A and B are shown apart, each in its own frame.
Chain A
Amino acid sequence: MQRSFRNISVLVLVVLVALLPMVTTDYYSALVVKIMIYALFALSLQLLVGCTGLVSMGHAAFFGISAYAVTLLSPEYVAGNMLWLVPAAIGCAMVYALVTGALVLRTKGVYFIMVTLAFAQMAYYVFHDTKLGGGSDGIYLYVRPELRLGDWVLLDISNSYTFYLFTLACLLFSWAFLAMLMRSRFGAALTGIRVNEQRMRAAGFSTFGYKLTAYVVAAGFGGLAGLLYAAKDGYVNPELMGWEQSGLVLFMVILGGVGRLWGAIIGAVGLILLQEFFQSSAIFGAFSIHWHLTFGLAIIALVAFMPNGLIGLTEQLRARRNRATSSATAH
């Protein structure tokens, strides 16, 4: 009963989001597209942080590599074909994940955080220092790719509403895929690794293979988000894989709540809206140009007072209420 209620409410929400551009201005549609892309990005990181217990501080590398790959591989003035561009771009991200993952997964804990960060910076410097992708200025993607079979155009996302729906479809597909993945035997093994890796190994699981697979899959979905981002703006620069970006997406996961996939989506929505809020000159006036200050303070406050994220908030409040009632009855 409760389950079907949840399914229906998710369905209604999806339909509402799909219809949103009909009633709002372009600005808000673009904002929702941005939120959806980051939600997908955060979702892919949740597979590592929340589901497998691997805190990666370099997830933006995959986002940026895929964004660069789709831009560099596209023909300059005509639309590229999604049929091979999308697998190629995501493939680039996954190959980088496979190579670096084999190295970083040898490390644990803090080392893992720092080494993922360092490998992301390595990718950043490749694009920042060499002429490969226009250096620090970045490059433009003039035409969004389209889905073609021969001369027959199946899907053209140059229209902003089509692109909106396409992004939504990508997000839903990824969510469904990851949710199913977590219910499979593979997902159960990842949960086991998060809870107690030693015991999983003792139970006969080769945990390294599972972790590496999770790392590469997460990179693939992160790459999908990066590709959408490049298509959205038509412009990529090295900052897409900078450590600020990695920190941002990690913060989305934490803000939403570690452990449940949809926590990442909630976190992405919350964080982008928070940024919009602090950047809004209507509320903060001239001070809104210094929004990093208020945003940073908000991060600190959230970490201090909400260690379990937004989805943990209800439990936190309930625990407080229970404590209050039990102390009241004790008196």
Chain B
Amino acid sequence: MDPVIFLIQCLNAIQYGLLLFLVASGLTLIFGIMGIINLAHGSFYMIGAYMAFALEPLVSQYLGGGFLATVLACIVLAALLGYFLEWAFYSYLYHREHLQQVLMTYGLILVFEELRSIIIDNDVHGVSAPAWLSGTIPLSDVMTYPTYRLFISAVCIVVAVLMYWLLSRTRLGMMIRAGASNREMINSLGIDINRLFRIVFALGVALAALAGAIAAPVSSVYPGMGNAIIIICFVVVVIGGIGSIKGAFIAAMLIGFVDTFGQVLFPQAAGVLVYVMMAAILLFKPEGLFKQG
């Protein structure tokens, strides 16, 4: 393989892996801390992307526009949505069996997809990248790489670092980690566990929506985009070990590379390759690479 093409594929793999990490980290956080299997997490990715599409004209009309303002609006709205959903639906699922969690979130997917079809429509829409990011960076005489993809990677890295800092260095992060390991104990120490969970959930939703919003200019927005990513995120979470952010990061990068290079080297088998890898890893590590607790 030509070294420049190899470099381009590596950059693509990193970008895809980082994006997966953004969605999967919310999923694994919600599972590890609240014990909820959230099938509807992909819908939040979809909602983020559609918000980026639908809010753009509104933001440019009322707030003076700008891509970053749109993304910021997406994040804020998604966090509010997450806060509301936790209160309205998810808080009833803590003491239920996994089976019922799977079903209720399955119902939520149907509702979100249908609301999307009612509010927007069922067509594929493109979202344009901002002008200052729509250029390309030359890699050789003929090869170039789009700046926007590098921007996605950069945003993901910043968010990952922020999240690491939040979880391991702040008081809130300490409470979250304590809540994950012993819910009753932290409650009896006088910390409002319900509010804490609501914040975690809102954070997870905001992460997924952010991923959707920044991915929208590359992938465009289309029906079923949430379902396409949620399955692969489950694979990420399972490989990484449920509840482990570090595991999710490594698994996401692994899948990014396997999937990207699989599509280049074995285009026919690309869809299956990731699952084969998952099977191979589970053969040796039935609980993922970094099992928490």
What residues make up the interface of A, taking CB atoms closer than 8 Å to B?
49, 55, 57, 100, 103, 106-111, 113-115, 117-119, 121-122, 125-126, 128-130, 243, 247, 250-251, 254, 258, 290, 292-293, 295-300, 303-304, 307
Known: A106-B282, A250-B103, A303-B104. 11 other contacts (CB 8 A): A103-B279, A106-B286, A113-B37, A114-B237, A114-B238, A125-B271, A247-B103, A251-B103, A296-B110, A297-B107, A303-B100
Q: Which of B102, B113, B118, B272 makes the CB contact (< 8 A) with A125?
A: B272
Contacts of B113 in A (CB 8 A): 292
Taking the closest CB of chain B, its distance from the CB of A59, in whole angstroms, is: 13
- Determine whether the beta carbon of A117 is less than 8 Å from that of B242: no
- Determine whether the beta carbon of A293 is less than 8 Å from that of B111: yes
Contacts of B107 in A (CB 8 A): 296-300, 303
When chains A and B are docked, how far (Å) is the Cα of A103 from the Cα of B287? 12
Residue of A nearest to B237 (CB): A114
Residue of B nearest to A255 (CB): B103
Q: Which chain B residues numbered 266 to 282 have a C-beta less than 8 Å away from chain A?
A: 268, 270-272, 275-276, 278-279, 282
- Determine whether the beta carbon of B110 is less than 8 Å from that of A243: no
Taking the closest CB of chain A, its distance from the CB of B38, in whole angstroms, is: 11
Binds A, one of B51-59, B91-99, B142-150, B168-176: B91-99
When chains A and B are docked, how far (Å) is the Cα of A121 from the Cα of B275? 8
- Determine whether the beta carbon of A107 is less than 8 Å from that of B287: yes
Contacts of A293 in B (CB 8 A): 110-111, 114-115, 118
The 6 tightest CB contacts between A and B, nearest first, are: A296-B110, A125-B271, A299-B107, A122-B275, A293-B114, A296-B111
What are 12 sample pairs from A and B whose C-beta atoms fall under 8 A apart? A57-B102, A111-B288, A113-B102, A114-B237, A115-B238, A118-B234, A119-B275, A129-B270, A243-B227, A296-B108, A299-B104, A300-B104
Q: Which chain B residues numbered 25 to 44 have a C-beta less than 8 Å away from chain A?
A: 31, 37, 39
Q: B117 at the A/B interface (Cβ < 8 Å)?
A: yes
Contacts of A110 in B (CB 8 A): 31, 37, 98, 242
When chains A and B are docked, how far (Å) is the Cα of A110 from the Cα of B97? 10
- Determine whether the beta carbon of A254 is less than 8 Å from that of B231: no
Contacts of A114 in B (CB 8 A): 37, 234-235, 237-238
Q: B106 at the A/B interface (Cβ < 8 Å)?
A: yes
- Determine whether the beta carbon of A299 is less than 8 Å from that of B110: yes
Contacts of B189 in A (CB 8 A): none
- Determine whether the beta carbon of B114 is less than 8 Å from that of A111: no
Residue of B nearest to A287 (CB): B118
With most chain A CB atoms within 10 A of its CB, the pick from B103, B278, B282 is: B103
The number of inter-chain residue pairs (CB within 8 angstroms) is: 121
In the complex where A114-B237, A118-B278, A293-B111 touch, is A106 in contact with B106 (Cβ < 8 A)? Answer: no
- Determine whether the beta carbon of A254 is less than 8 Å from that of B272: no
Q: B79 at the A/B interface (Cβ < 8 Å)?
A: no
Q: Which chain B residues numbered 114 to 171 have a C-beta less than 8 Å away from chain A?
A: 114-115, 117-118
Taking the closest CB of chain B, its distance from the CB of A239, in whole angstroms, is: 11
- Determine whether the beta carbon of B231 is less than 8 Å from that of A117: yes
Q: Which of B102, B227, B242, B283 makes the CB contact (< 8 A) with A111?
A: B242
Q: Which chain B residues numbered 231 to 270 have a C-beta less than 8 Å away from chain A?
A: 231, 234-235, 237-238, 242, 268, 270
- Determine whether the beta carbon of B103 is less than 8 Å from that of A299: yes
- Interface extent on B, as a size class? 35 or more
Taking the closest CB of chain A, its distance from the CB of B90, in whole angstroms, is: 11
Contacts of A106 in B (CB 8 A): 282-283, 286
When chains A and B are docked, how far (Å) is the Cα of A115 from the Cα of B99? 14
Q: B89 at the A/B interface (Cβ < 8 Å)?
A: yes
- Determine whether the beta carbon of B231 is less than 8 Å from that of A295: no
With most chain A CB atoms within 10 A of its CB, the pick from B96, B108, B231 is: B231
Contacts of B14 in A (CB 8 A): none
Q: B210 at the A/B interface (Cβ < 8 Å)?
A: no
In the complex where A250-B103, A258-B99 touch, is A111 in contact with B110 (Cβ < 8 A)? Answer: no
Contacts of B287 in A (CB 8 A): 107, 111
Contacts of B46 in A (CB 8 A): none
When chains A and B are docked, how far (Å) is the Cα of A110 from the Cα of B234? 10
When chains A and B are docked, how far (Å) is the Cα of A267 from the Cα of B287? 33
Residue of B nearest to A127 (CB): B271
Residue of A nearest to B103 (CB): A303
- Determine whether the beta carbon of A118 is less than 8 Å from that of B104: no
Contacts of B200 in A (CB 8 A): none
Taking the closest CB of chain A, its distance from the CB of B110, in whole angstroms, is: 3
Contact with A along B61-104 (1 / 0, CB 8 A): 00000000000000000000000000001001000101110111
Residue of B nearest to A57 (CB): B102
When chains A and B are docked, how far (Å) is the Cα of A303 from the Cα of B98? 12
- Determine whether the beta carbon of B275 is less than 8 Å from that of A290: no
Residue of B nearest to A299 (CB): B107
Contacts of A243 in B (CB 8 A): 227, 231
Contacts of A290 in B (CB 8 A): 114, 117-118
Q: B23 at the A/B interface (Cβ < 8 Å)?
A: no
Contacts of B89 in A (CB 8 A): 300
Contacts of A303 in B (CB 8 A): 96, 100, 103-104, 107
Contacts of A296 in B (CB 8 A): 107-111, 114
When chains A and B are docked, how far (Å) is the Cα of A329 from the Cα of B92? 31
- Determine whether the beta carbon of B272 is less than 8 Å from that of A126: yes
Contacts of B279 in A (CB 8 A): 100, 103, 119
Contacts of A129 in B (CB 8 A): 268, 270-272
With most chain A CB atoms within 10 A of its CB, the pick from B113, B237, B272 is: B272
In the complex where A110-B31, A121-B231, A290-B117 touch, is A55 in contact with B100 (Cβ < 8 A)? Answer: no
With most chain B CB atoms within 10 A of its CB, the pick from A107, A126, A299 is: A299
Residue of B nearest to A294 (CB): B114
Taking the closest CB of chain B, its distance from the CB of A161, in whole angstroms, is: 35
- Determine whether the beta carbon of A122 is less than 8 Å from that of B104: no
